[in-house]
Every structure is written in structure tokens, then in C-alpha cells.
Amino acid sequence: MVASPLPSLILGSTSRYRRELLQRLRLPFESVSPQVDETPLPGETPAALALRLALAKARAVSRLHPNAVVIGSDQVADVDGEPVGKPGTHERAVAQLRRMSGQTIVFQTAVAVVRADTGFEATELAPVKVRFRTLDDAEIEHYLRLEQPYDCAGSAKCETLGIALLSAIESDDPTALVGLPLIRTCALLRSAGLDPLMGAR
């Protein structure tokens, strides 16, 4: 009996952080921009926003590639129940870090997997609690000038110098804070019919 070929895998994101994380699984994949409006809905919680956008991204790409297994992901910083996304500018990043100084923030990282040809779709949420040190303006300014993390929710890259802004991270999925929770992603891929371990090259 000949084993059926593995379905193709697509990451519904052009984020270099998510691409680098998915490369750890040693699965062949391509990245496709999902073209999804990321505006929060009125009254939408950060967790609900992250889940909705992750699924919307996976569905958008899946419509173009119905025979592929598509991963969508999104991350929203939860600051006192208010969604905080990518700052985009230096000034917004300063404001974000000032607001988060000395606080515990929950980064809501969601992942979705969609496979249109079988009707499979599922989502998972990987919340990460992050405790920020009390930061002074000089530290914030120096960090932002060095790293320019304007494409990161919450303005901090924990995988590089941003770790020095923090006093603790609590998570059961260690890559979630970087942008793609790989433990949950692997579980969803297996459910969709693509075993990461057996498909690795």
C-alpha cells in the first residue's frame, strides 16, 4: 500500500518571526499574505480578537489554496482588558512601554489551522503572562532605538534584548510569546492530517 502524499503547508502570514518559528519543524511550507482587516470589533476582548483574526487569516488563504493545510496566527497584548497591537511608530512604542512598566500583561497568542478540502478548521489560544520591570524613560528610549520593535505587539521582542525589560514570563507553550505557539500548532496540524514529526525533512 502506497502512503498518500502529505498535503502542502502554507503559513498565512508574512511575519518573519512566525516564519522562523515554523522553520523549526523542518516541514516544507510557503508563506502567503492573508490580507485581513485587523481592526477590533466594538467591545471585542483581546482573546476574542486574536482568535477571530487567526481564523480569518487561515480562512482567507485557504480560499485561495483549498487543498493545502493553512496556518493562521495572531497576537494581541491584553492591557487591562484593552487590546494593544503593533505600535508602528516610535512614539506609540514609547507610550506602550510606559503603560506596561511595572505591570503584568497577558499576550493572547492564537493559532488556527484550516484545511478546506476536508472541512477541518480549529483554533487554539496560548495566553502568556509577562511581568514588566519598572522602566524609566532612558531605558525605554535606549531599547527602542536599538531594537526598533515597531512590528511587535507590545513593543518588546523577548527573543532578543527585550528580555531585559522583563522580570518574568509564564507560559505552557514556550514559543507563543514570539508569535506562534508551536506545541499547539503541532497538535492542530496532526488533527488536520499533517504529522509534523513524520513529515519533517
- Tell me how crowded residue 193 is: count the other CB atoms within 10 A of its CB: 14
What is the amino acid identity at position 92? Answer: R
Which cell numbers hold the place of 102? 511595572
Whether 151 is catalytic: no
CB 56 within 8 Å of CB 34: yes
CA distance 160 to 89: 19
Which residue of the set 37, 74, 80, 117 is catalytic? 74
Dihedral angle of Cα 88, 91, 95, 97, to the nearest 10 degrees: 70
Cell triple for 84: 494593544
Helix (H, G, I), strand (E, B) or coil at 38: coil
Catalytic residues: 74
